Amino acid sequence: MRLSLHYSPCPNDTFIFHALASGLVAVPGVALDVALADVEGLNQAAAAGTPDVCKVSVAAAAGLLDEYRILRAGGALGRGVGPILVARGGVRLEDLHGRAVAIPGARTTANLLFGLLCCERGLSPRLLELVYDQVMPAVSDGRCTAGVVIHEGRFTYAQHGLARLLDLGAWWEEERGLPIPLGCIVMRRSLGLDLARAVNAGIRQSLELAHEHPEASRQYIRSHAQEMDPQVIARHIETFVTSSSLDLGPEGEAAILALLAEARRVDGLGALPGDVFLGG
């Protein structure tokens, strides 16, 4: 059978999925149709029910759980990995009230965290949705007072003449005592548990092979990376590919459930289903 697999061109995803995409690892009896898109494009595709297996923001997963189940491998979750709120020099957090702030998509975990922060601080900024790699230029050229940056922007914002206003991931960690769950892999429930376990095992094998033979995926990663500097790519992978990318584990589950609950509260959704995750 054929399955569609969608993930982002970011180094953490291309590192994880290269072996599957290139055929070095296979899911028995399955051919994969791979498509890459930015994080908000992935969220929108999953909301439309297009992909069978898809990397999505954890915040977006909150609205997908009737149709999709969260797999245990392939996600981005950890400490010190969260989105960062940046601005030009001299801007303070309170200055954002009523001002334009660039975000990398309405359904992103980054936007959810920023919204939670704004509620806590009594701020009402005007949000401008942009593709994630356009956020920093919009702040640098004055179109926006601040921006929420993700992915390699965590390492490169100073090169754009920007300063960090707040580390939103660290804010979440301090508030909740949990790591920040950024992204996860979801798979259609209708495809069944046996196939979901096989796909999850394939993702794990792909990541294990990437760790064992990092040179094999190097060209694939570089061909898709927005930031081509090899040191930035290496830092990106080191930061966003963690032990939780192999398996969520109990702490990962707790972190995702906490963020899902916030997302569903904000969106006015009901209680979470009982089988959010693929069983261990």
Q: Alpha-carbon distance 131 to 150, whole Å?
A: 11
Quote the DSSP letter at residue 52.
Answer: S
Task: Please state the φ and ψ torsions of residue 146, each to the nearest 5 degrees.
Answer: -150, 175
Q: Alpha-carbon distance 115 to 124, whole Å?
A: 9
Quote the DSSP letter at residue 130.
Answer: -
Read off the tokens for 167: 């580390």
Q: Alpha-carbon distance 57 to 138, whole Å?
A: 22
Q: Alpha-carbon distance 204 to 207, whole Å?
A: 5
Is 151 an annotated catalytic residue? yes
Q: Alpha-carbon distance 65 to 46, whole Å?
A: 11
Q: Alpha-carbon distance 223 to 164, whole Å?
A: 29
The total of other beta-carbon atoms located within 10 Å of residue 135's CB is 31
Q: Alpha-carbon distance 134 to 136, whole Å?
A: 6
Catalytic residue among 6, 151, 213, 236: 151
Cα 171 to Cα 99, 100, 115, 119, 176: the distances in Å are: 22, 22, 12, 14, 9
> Catalytic residues, which ones?
151
